[in-house]
Amino acid sequence: MTTEVRDGLRYTRDHEWLRAEGDEGVIGITAFAADELGDIVFVELPAVGRKLEKAGSFGVIESVKTASDLYAPVAGEVTAVNEALNASPELVNSDPYGDGWMIRVRIDDPASAAALLDADAYRELTAG
């Protein structure tokens, strides 16, 4: 089954997406990842102000059967978290690129976003 890959976003091999505008970024997981996980029942997100390292774990996402780490696509500082995911973790399944967003970050090095996979490269990666 082909899941949605959105143009204009950057992607990691761990199936996170990043929407970057200058040094402001929004991060979530892709439809591919959400589909693999199945019904999401719990999302553990960092506190605002937390410093993230590129490829470091910034939280945990749990489905009915498993728990998985979330990895930061870029280094930066968390400026906001999606509190709606506390009561409605299923938003990650229903709208992974929109209402299922996870954190906003101030990106340390905006150039690092360009080094991530673009939509076509991610499509190829997940074509399977």
Partner 1 sequence: MSETEARVEAPKRTALHAAHQRAGARLIDFAGWEMPVQYTGIMDEHRAVRSSAGMFDLSHMGELWVDGPGAAEALAYALVTDPTKLAVGRAHYSMIVTEDGGIIDDLIVYRTGEQRFLVVPNASNAPAVAAALRERLPASGYAATLDDASMRTSLIAVQGPNARAILQPLTDVQLGSLKYYAIAHGTVDGTDAWVARTGYTGEDGFELFVEWDAAPRLWDRLLEAGASHGLVPAGLGARDTLRLEAGMALYGNELDRHTRPAEAGLARVVKLEKAGDFVGRAALEAAAAVGPRKALVGLELRDRGIARHGYPVHLPGHADAAGIVTSGTLSPTLGIAIAMAYVPVDQAAPGTMLDIGVRATRVPAEVVPLPFYKRPS
| 41: amino acid identity, one letter | V
List of residues 6+ apart from 24 with CB closer than 8 A: 79, 104, 105, 106, 107
Q: Does residue 111 belong to the site contacting partner 1 (CB under 8 A)?
A: no
The site string for partner 1 over 68-107 (x = CB under 8 A, - otherwise) reads ------------------x---x-----------------
CA distance 16 to 31: 10
The correct pick among 2, 4, 38, 120 for binding partner 1 (CB under 8 A) is: 38
Stretch that binds partner 1, among 10-18, 25-33, 37-45, 99-107 (CB under 8 A): 37-45
At residue 42's C-alpha, the angle toward residues 13 and 51, to 5°, is: 60
Contacts with partner 1 by CB under 8 A lie at 1, 38-39, 41-42, 44, 60, 62, 64-65, 67, 86, 90
